[in-house]
Structure 1
Amino acid sequence: MIVAHLPAGYIVSTLLFHRFEKYGASRLIFLRAGLLGSIAPDLDMIYFYGFDHRAHPHHSYFSHFPSVWLLLLTLAILCFQHCKQKKLALLALIFTGNGMLHMLLDYISTNIYWLAPFVNRPFALITVPSVYQDWWLNFLLHRSFALEILIVLWATCLWCRRRLARHELVE
């Protein structure tokens, strides 16, 4: 996935907010936590370009291990279930849930190390062939990019519908 992580996080966070708003988190804070979680695994790109000099695929870093995100998600669920103060646990829940969504979306067309750190073997649902010299062109011109476009359109529709509803309330 190239462009759909943030829109997918927006979709999930927007659709789930009404279910959890009774726990005290504002919509804006809930949305920010969800959006940050949806791109958090890719923050390893700072290390990838700045320190590792692209020596290893950035999906081989621990920040892209589904086991890490499943552990964090499990801890967030347990905290949410057992803590009296639910607001912080709720924000951790939407953050880690969208981090796990990032893993699922990446799995569609790129390698994800599902069994890491125990097994160092990547898995991908679809292999995007390397036809063009620029890596991003291979993804942009592959049929799997249509799913990204659909996710972006869905998020745009949700955003426009919300703005329109808020505008109608003002008038």
Structure 2
Amino acid sequence: MFIAHAPSGYLLATQFVDRARTLPVRASVAVAAGVIGALAPDFDMLWFYLVDARQTHHHKYISHWPVLWLSLLLLALLWRHTRPLSAGAAVLGIFSAGGLLHMVLDSVVGDIWWFAPFIDRPFALFTVPALHTPWWLNFLLHWSFALELAICVGAVITFRHRRQRSGVPAKV
């Protein structure tokens, strides 16, 4: 995924906000947590380029291990169970759900080590053939980019609908 992680986090978080009976944080905080969570696994790109000199596939870093995001989600659920009105538990839950969504979306055409650190084997639903230069053009011209565009369009539609519902004019 290139452009759809933030919009997917927005869609995920707005679903949490819209379906929650009670939420111990403002909706804007919950949405920010979802968007940042959906982007957070790719913060490892700083390490990838600045420290690691592109030696290791960045999806092999701990920030791209699904076990990390599942563990954070489990921690949030346990925290929420013991303290139902905890704002921190709600934010951590939405943040970690965004990170887990990132893993799922990256698995469409990108290798994700779903069983790391226990098994060193990547999984991807589809492979993007290397036909073009530069490398990223292969992804932009692959059918899977239409999925990214659909997620982006869905986020814009949701944003506009939510703004209309709240009576605030949308400027997108």
TM over 0.5: yes
Q: Measure the CA separation in 2 of the matches of 1:122 and 1:14.
A: 31
- Rate the CA distance shift 1:164–1:38 in 2: closer, same or farther, 3 A: same
1:17 deviates by 0.3
Paired residue for 1:109?
109
Instruction: Describe the superposition over 1:52-77 as per-residue Cα deviations: whole angstroms up to 9, x where unpaired.
Output: 11111100101001111111111111
Residues 23 and 86 in structure 1, CA contact (< 8 A), matched pair in contact too = no
1:153 maps to 153
1:91 maps to which residue? 91
- Deviations along 1:113-170, one digit per CA (max 9) or x if unpaired, are 011101111111000111112121110000111111110010010011122233369x
Q: Shift of residue 24 of structure 1? A: 2.1
Q: Which residue of 2 aligns with 1:47?
A: 47
Give, as a single letter, the amino acid of the residue that structure 2 aligns with 1:114. Answer: W
Higher helix share: 1
Unaligned runs of 5+ in 1: none
How many angstroms apart in 1 are the aligned matches of 2:157 and 2:132?
32
Measure the CA separation in 2 of the matches of 1:39 and 1:134.
24
Name the structure 2 match of 1:64: 64
Aligned partner of 2:162 in structure 1 is 162
Aligned counterpart, 1:144: 144
Work out the CA distance in 2 between the residues paired with 1:86 and 1:21: 14
CA distances 1:93-127 after superposition (whole Å, capped 9, x unpaired)? 00000100000000001000011101111111000
Measured on the aligned residues, the alpha-carbon RMSD in Å equals 1.5
Question: Structure 1 residues 81 and 144 mapped into 2: Cα distance closer, same or farther (>3 Å)?
Answer: same
How far is the alpha carbon of 1:21 from its aligned partner?
6.1
Contact kept in structure 1, 2:17 and 2:23, CA below 8 Å: no
* Corresponding letter in the other structure for 1:139: F
Contact kept in structure 2, 1:21 and 1:27, CA below 8 Å: no
Deviation at residue 45 of structure 1 after TM alignment: 0.4
Give the distance between the partners of 1:168 and 1:42, measured in 2 at CA.
Answer: 32
- Unpaired segments ≥5 residues, structure 2: none
**One-letter identity of the residue aligned with 1:40:** A
Percent identity for Structure 1 against Structure 2:
43
